[in-house]
Structure 1
Amino acid sequence: MPDRIITLCYRKVIGASSVQPWEKLVFEDTYQEFRLQAQLYNPEHRYRTFAELVQQAPGADQLPFLVSAAARGYLQQLRGLVPDVVNNLGKHFLKFSQFQFEIITSDLQDKARHQVAISFYSEPLRWHDTVGSLLLVSEAAGPAATEEVLTNMISLQPYLSIHSLHQLA
């Protein structure tokens, strides 16, 4: 089976029911930032929800970008590792090089309705094989094919998918 270079995407959804301390901090700070930034597009307090703002207030489609600033510092705490995704030994190994922040829904008067997502895009991985239900991967920039490479075995789980694929010749 020829090697392929893949990029994985993990979508982390964060809302009022999130329980991990890191998630709670992201939730609280992105909600506060949403309320603050929404004032720019809603000075007369006509709109209540994120959806209403985007549909009715010119420029409000910039809110996800503006609110993402509140999450950036927390992303640094992850030290470049995708949260929740571990190899079959239970260790975090998946490095991310890019992320995308998204406001799923929010309500200026009901914090419980605030929900965001962060999609983490992994650094390129070499996909060697599939063993049972596990992908056998290594760093794409690893040693030449004739040398020993360190590998990880990973199971595709909910919210984790292969984002891109490049077949090597």
Structure 2
Amino acid sequence: MRVIRLLYRKIIDASSQSAWEKLVFNDSYTEFIMQAQLYNQEKKYITFGELIAYVPNAEKLHFLVSGSVVGYLKQLNRKVPDILNNSGKLFLPFSNYKFEIINSDIKDKSKHQVAVNFMSEPLTWYDTIGNQLLVALDTTPVNDEILTEQFAMQPFLSICSLKEIK
């Protein structure tokens, strides 16, 4: 038996479609503009990349901007977005996340791009069927059966840790 954790990297940019994604995009951009002022008081730099390259401690912008999206992450009710089981339901619980700014531009909102990296809770991995994983969220039997979830692997979803249980 193997216990795994999955990592899902959700990228949000100007082309994102859902209402939730648009809120994260807009609020993280607004917060980036506000926080970047601290690191760009002389207005020498335009892009996030320039700030990271030339301004000491600008990497703190990831953390400083992350506060603007915490409320939206709570709306997910600890379920990783976009990852559906074969019944079409969100099921994958996350225990941790990391917000990051991929790119941004003080003068061009369309270049703003962020990612939320969701770390799943531990899952018991029973089998792989084609491109699908068969896992259990909880190995406590219900009527002598272990309830499982089956779902497809997809882009930006990976197994980030593996532990063999004997």
> TM (normalized to structure 1)?
0.94
TM-fit CA distance, 1:132:
2.8
The correspondence for 2:148, drawn from 147, 151, 155, is: 151
Task: Name 1:94's counterpart in structure 2.
Answer: 92
Q: Does 1:40 align with 2:31?
A: no
- The sequence identity of aligned pairs, in percent, is 54
1:109-134 deviation digits (Å, cap 9, x = unpaired): 00000000001010000001112321
Task: Name 1:63's counterpart in structure 2.
Answer: 61
Task: Name 1:106's counterpart in structure 2.
Answer: 104
Q: Secondary structure at the match of 1:94?
A: coil
Q: Which is further off, 147-156 or 19-28? A: 147-156
Q: Does 1:73 align with 2:71?
A: yes
Q: CA RMSD in A?
A: 1.2
Deviating 4+ runs (over 2 angstroms): none
Separation of aligned partners in 1, 2:72 and 2:156: 20
Q: Number of residue pairs matched?
A: 165
> TM (normalized to structure 2)?
0.96
TM-fit CA distance, 1:10:
0.6
Structure 2: gaps (5+ residues): none
Task: Name 2:14's counterpart in structure 1.
Answer: 16
